[in-house]
């Protein structure tokens, strides 16, 4: 009964947002990714009872290679997150950059693996939509309220701050604003910190992404950075991907850094990170537990394995560490 009473304690203030029209194509990729994840979950690729509260189920069936690609992405990122949480014994914080409709906070809570605090950052327009869903849907709001010690939880159109979870509307290219808003929500630079960016840096210019990576490395004494995005983009398949996105008014401004696994690692090492590792998603897929591979491959028929391999060779999972020798952060691998 107490939980039900506290659900009504979320209050909202309306505010307007003005977003750069140039970023509309990038914001659209959030919707695309959410729809793909929702579809893959609906046919059993992985369990996520929360995604349904953020995005409708598309009537359009997604291709099997797309679904397997998203499975590998979600599995790979999740494994690295959990490795970091185990090394720090959850005495840490997570900052998810460009989080979109991500549900990791709720899934970690279900597994009793929450860090000291979990932060999400995205464009104000996307944050407004996410906060509306949280406010209106008890399966999303109740877990936040259960962990919150105050009687009321204030949020406006661009920010929610609670004891263990915060959502912030900010532009990742404006680092002073980003830092100010994170600190206002009690980000602790002394805590071991995991930063996550999934298909985020590639939409920034190389200079902008380098500045973000430097800021992250300089802001925390002990940190890890996970980056998931394109790789091997210099070949014909990569060019087709670029052209297709450009037709949708979405420019891969940072694609020159996505030439190879080596260029991905070099960007991290040249911007303040001490170690860097990278695997393409086909290599990651081949390392998946065979029982899981058998399970997901039985969900739907894939006509040509070459399609999956071609797609997976053009995405990668990278991770970098700084400090944390006593925690064994450098030992984290996939």
Domains contained in the chain, CATH given = 39-331 (3.40.50.150)
C-alpha to C-alpha distance for 21 and 130, rounded to whole angstroms: 20
| 157 in a labelled binding site | no
- Range scoring the smallest mean pLDDT among 17-31, 207-221, 281-295: 17-31
Instruction: Give the pLDDT confidence of 131-163 residue by residue, as tens digits.
Output: 999 999 999 999 999 998 776 677 877 999 999
pTM: 0.92
* 172 labeled part of a ligand binding site: yes
Q: How far apart are CA 16 and CA 14, in angstroms?
A: 7
Q: Is 57 annotated as a binding residue?
A: no
Q: Report whether 98 belongs to an annotated binding site.
A: yes
Q: Token digits for 114?
A: 């929450």
Nearest to 274 by CA among 191, 190, 213: 213
pLDDT band at 10 (very low <50, low <70, confident <90, very high): very low
198 is in an annotated binding site: yes
Name the residue with higher pLDDT: 25 or 300.
300
The answer on pLDDT for 273 being more than 50 is yes
How many angstroms separate the Cα of 156 from the Cα of each of 110, 143, 161, 169?
26, 19, 10, 10
């Amino acid at each position: 009964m107490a939980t039900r009473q506290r659900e009504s304690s979320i209050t909202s203030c309306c505010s307007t947002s003005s977003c750069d029209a140039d970023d509309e194509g990038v914001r659209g990729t959030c919707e695309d990714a959410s729809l793909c994840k929702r579809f893959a979950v609906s046919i059993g690729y992985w369990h996520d009872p929360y995604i349904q509260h953020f995005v409708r189920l598309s009537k359009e069936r997604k291709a099997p290679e797309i679904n397997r690609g998203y499975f590998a992405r979600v599995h790979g990122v999740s494994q690295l997150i959990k490795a970091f949480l185990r090394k720090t014994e959850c005495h840490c914080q997570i900052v998810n950059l460009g989080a979109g409709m991500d549900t990791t906070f709720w899934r970690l809570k279900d597994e009793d693996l929450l860090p000291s605090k979990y932060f999400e950052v995205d464009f104000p327009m996307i944050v407004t939509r996410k906060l509306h869903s949280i406010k209106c849907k008890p399966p999303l709001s109740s877990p936040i309220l259960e962990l919150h010690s105050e009687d009321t939880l204030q949020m406006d159109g661009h920010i929610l701050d609670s004891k263990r979870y915060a959502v912030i509307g900010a532009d990742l290219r404006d680092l002073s604003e980003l830092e100010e808003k994170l600190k206002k929500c009690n980000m602790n630079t002394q805590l071991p910190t995991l930063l996550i960016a999934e298909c985020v840096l590639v939409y920034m210019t190389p200079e902008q992404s380098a500045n973000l990576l430097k800021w992250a490395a300089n802001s925390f004494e002990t940190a890890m950075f996970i980056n998931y995005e394109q790789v091997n983009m210099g070949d014909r398949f990569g060019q087709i991907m670029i052209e297709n996105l450009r037709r949708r008014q979405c420019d891969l401004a940072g694609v020159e850094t996505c030439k190879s696994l080596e260029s991905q690692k070099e960007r991290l090492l040249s911007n303040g990170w001490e170690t860097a590792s990278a695997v393409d998603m086909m290599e990651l897929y081949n390392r998946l537990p065979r029982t899981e591979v058998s399970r997901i491959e039985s969900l739907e028929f894939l006509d040509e394995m070459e399609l999956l391999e071609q797609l997976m060779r053009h995405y990668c999972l990278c991770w970098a560490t700084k400090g944390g020798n006593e925690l064994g952060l450098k030992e984290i691998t996939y």
